[in-house]
Amino acid sequence: MQVGTLFYIVGPSGVGKDTLISGAMAMLAGTGRYVQTKRVITRPAAIGEDHEPASTAAFDAMCADGAFLHHWGAHELRYGLRRTLLEDLAAGRNVLANGSRRALPDLAGTVDRLVVVEITASPALLAERLARRGRESADEIAARIAREVPPLPRTGDLVRIVNDGGVDEAVAALVAALERMASRLVLKRMPVTSARRHTAFLAEDCTAVNASAYAGSGRIEIRSTARPAVPADLMLIEPGNGLDGDEVGLSREAFEKLGLPEGALVSIDRTPSPSSRALLRRKIGGGALDTEEYATLFREIVEQRYPEGETAAFLVKAIQSLDDEETIAVAKARCGFSPRIDWGVPIVVDKHSLGGVPGSRITPIIVPIVAAAGLLMPKTSSRAITSASGTADTMEALCRIDLDGGQIREVVRKTGGCIAWNGKLNHSILDDVVNAVTRPLGLDSNQWSVASILSKKWSAGATHVVIDLPFGPRAKLKSQTEAEKLGRLFEVVGAGLGLIVKAFATDGSKVIGRGLGPSLELRDVLAVLDNAPQASRALRDKALFYAANILHFAGHAPTLDAAREAAEDILLSGEARHRLDAIAAAQGNVSQVAPARLSRSVGAHAAGTIGGIDGWHLGGIARRAGAPHDKSAGVDVLVEPGRQVEAGQPLYTIYASDIASLEEAAAEASREPGVAIAMAQEDALQWTIAGQGAL
């Protein structure tokens, strides 16, 4: 196949074709890859462009001898392109030819690689340029411009250059287009799979582009006129090992993403853009970026324009060096990746907990209270990552949670609230890319987390957000001071996004509910909503605290005491339980999951007083039993600190669906029970602590 490309440049008289071609050749001639072919014209040499003059008889004779690859007539003149230009194309040189749009169909099939370049300009500029040329009267110029021009036929690829501004600008645009289209390569599917990262391959002796120069950039972008560009890592292949000099190979995933057949012509560009790389280098060097600059970098990272090493270097620096102003900038930039939901009301409330407290399943209590009070609370929650259950896992033991945006809107319209999985509504492709880099490296920061959390709340349409920040020896936040500092950051960044945020530092040193695992935590939630005597007082109090604060700061109650009274009235009346039932029905009821059929109790090794319960260790035992994947698995805590127990008395019960999981969990409990017991011996207290970090 020919390597050279014929660039057939068309446009109306006066548009500046000759000027742009001359300017482009001045820039490209030194490469040795471009030539301009002279037209044979039946016009004297002294008139118009630099051409090869010929008489009509001579022109006819050349036609008869087959000297022309392509010829046409216009404006009572004859024009021709000599067949010798095929020699340049065969040698790999790209040929620029000034042509005619009306004659374009006759050119079809004569060359392997044809690109039509259409130069356009406004009618006023055309008239001005034609008048300066002095060949036609004003009436003739007006008639020429008014002449209806048929659309370009679909022959080859098409590039349009607008020559309405400065000549230098138009020449630069033309050169960029020529370079892009001249370096096109033949697409080939490689028998290689590259998983998430797309990969492209060039032969080291590639004849169309300088392969080593492109390899130095690390990333390229594969383009065609028919499909969106696909970024890919670039690898070079030794000559003679599966790729010709004018081919580009794509891994299976990249080939399927591009969606073109083998043999299609594609162009490649270096990526990312120089301006984007300058931003990345500034941040890595310790500089600050604004919202628009972060948005640019995030977009190019999501589009995989950077090698993973450069992405990681940027994220390391960004995550570790954000001040308040930059945290707001990151949050705003992240908001651009998801459209904001408009709920059609002035107040939409939401809640987020930093987590870290076993059994603190307050959201399924808060949402129905707040919704029953008349506020909208479309709550989306996550599944557990390291704990025995997340809010989404617990709700999944009662109803469907995998709702899309339309389904969530319908549930909220009917009930005033929802408790759904955030994977479909709040999913961010930016998080996918960032997490793939940061999680293996253990990278995290409060600033980065705050920007991520609040940008999702903004996208979900929230106007008022409460933040639960538990602190304690085993929680994510170790001290009240640390929690209060983070709370201030949440409030500052929230204000930067136009949200009203109120954060609370809460005691996270103790287990809140009895159950650890989806079905057992759901049981605790329903006990509170049913006002059952055995309901966890700590779980009830914490849920009412946040429900009251939501009602108060959203303007639903004049004082916090009045808000607490209103929330408790809704709970005591049964309205909250009815509202949760309505939400579950709207989301799609499932058979409520009960604790698993297999169980084993873990007893006290001696008589004494319960000193502390390591809920984090018990959560690990629950995970060994199968939670949260198995909604029926978990640990049911039967004692509380300060309670007297006898030797052998059950401290907690492990539930599992299969004997192997039960035995594994029981073995872990045997090694480290996770409960501290104080025994009275010789008028002194001897503490026996089972499990690390017991509280």
Position 264 pLDDT exceeds 50? yes
Tell me what pLDDT residue 538 has.
93
Mean pLDDT, to the nearest integer, of 531-540? Answer: 95
What is the CATH number assigned to the segment(s) 349-586?
A: 3.40.1030.10
pLDDT at 390: 92
What is the distance between the alpha carbons of residues 36 and 95, in angstroms, rounded to a whole number?
Answer: 6
Per-residue pLDDT, 151: 63
* Range name among 224-228, 575-579, 668-672 with the lowest pLDDT average: 224-228
Distances (CA, A) of 19 to 74, 77, 167: 20, 21, 8
Q: Are strands 157-162 and 40-41 parallel, antiparallel or unpaired?
A: unpaired
CA neighbor of 607 nearest in space, from 647, 578, 639, 638: 647
In the predicted model, is pLDDT for residue 630 greater than 90? Answer: yes
Per-residue pLDDT, averaged over 532-546, amounts to 95
272-276, 298-302, 502-506, 554-558: lowest mean pLDDT where?
A: 272-276
Look at residue 13 and tell me whether its pLDDT is greater than 80: no
**Residue 105 — very low, low, confident or very high, per pLDDT cuts 50/70/90?**
confident
The C-alpha atoms of residue 472 and residue 480 are separated, in whole angstroms, by 8
Residues 156-178: tens digit of each pLDDT: 588 888 888 778 888 988 998 88
Distance CA 675, CA 669 (A): 10
Q: Which residue in the block uniquely carries the two structure tokens 């809107």?
A: 409
For 300-334, what is each residue's pLDDT tens digit? 887 777 777 788 888 888 888 889 999 999 999 99
The mean predicted confidence, pLDDT, of the chain is: 87
The model's confidence at residue 129, banded by pLDDT at 50, 70 and 90, is: low
Architecture of domain 6-182: 3-Layer(aba) Sandwich (3.40)
User: DSSP characters for 579-645?
Assistant: HHHHHHHHH-B-PPPPPPSEEEEEE-SSSEEEEEE-HHHHHHHHHHTTTTTSTT-EEEE---TT-EE
Q: What is the mean pLDDT of residues 601-619?
A: 92
As given in the structure block, the two tokens for residue 673 are 């029970």
| pLDDT greater than 70 at residue 217 | no
The answer to which of 331-340, 397-406, 464-473 has the lowest mean pLDDT is 331-340
Q: Binning pLDDT at 50, 70 and 90, where does residue 684 land?
A: very low
In sequence order, the 6+-apart residues with CB closer than 8 A to the CB of 518 are: 389, 393, 394, 396, 397, 593, 627, 628, 631, 632, 634
Residues 9 and 13: their CA atoms lie apart, in Å, by 12
Report whether pLDDT(643) > 80. yes
Q: Residue 523 pLDDT more than 50?
A: yes
Whether the CB-CB separation of 370 and 387 falls below 8 Å is answered with no
- pLDDT for 154 equals 59
> In angstroms, rounded to a whole number, what is the distance separating the alpha carbons of residues 286 and 321?
8
- The correct answer on CATH 2.40.40.20 for the domain covering 185-270 is yes
Gap between the Cα atoms of 610 and 695, Å rounded = 10
pLDDT digits (tens, 9 = 90+) for 554-602: 888 999 999 999 999 999 999 999 999 999 999 999 999 999 999 999 9
Note the pLDDT of residue 687.
45
Predicted pLDDT at 590: 94
Longest Cα pair distance anywhere in the chain, in angstroms? 129
Please give the pLDDT value at position 689.
43
CA contacts within 13 A on the Cβ side of 308 = 13
Over residues 444-457, the mean pLDDT reads 89
Contact 242, 183 (CB under 8 A): no
| Residues ≥6 apart with Cβ < 8 Å to 675 | 604, 610, 612, 613, 614, 639, 651, 652, 690, 691, 694
**Predicted confidence (pLDDT) at residue 4 exceeds the cutoff of 70:** yes
pLDDT for 435 equals 75
Domain ranges of the chain: 6-182, 185-270, 274-321, 349-586, 598-689
What pLDDT, on a 0 to 100 scale, did the predictor assign at position 134? 66
132-161 tens-digit pLDDT: 766 667 776 676 666 655 666 555 588 888
- 88: left (phi > 0), else alpha (psi -120 to 50), else beta? alpha
pLDDT band at 508 (very low <50, low <70, confident <90, very high): confident
pLDDT top residue among 246 and 414: 414
Lowest average pLDDT, out of 126-130, 251-255, 593-597, goes to 126-130
More confident residue, 164 or 642: 642
What are the structure tokens assigned to 413, written together?
């319209």
pLDDT at 694: 33
pLDDT surpasses 50 at 693: no
What is 598-689's CATH number? Answer: 3.90.1170.30
Q: What is the DSSP letter of 383?
A: P
**Is the pLDDT score of 83 beyond 60?**
yes
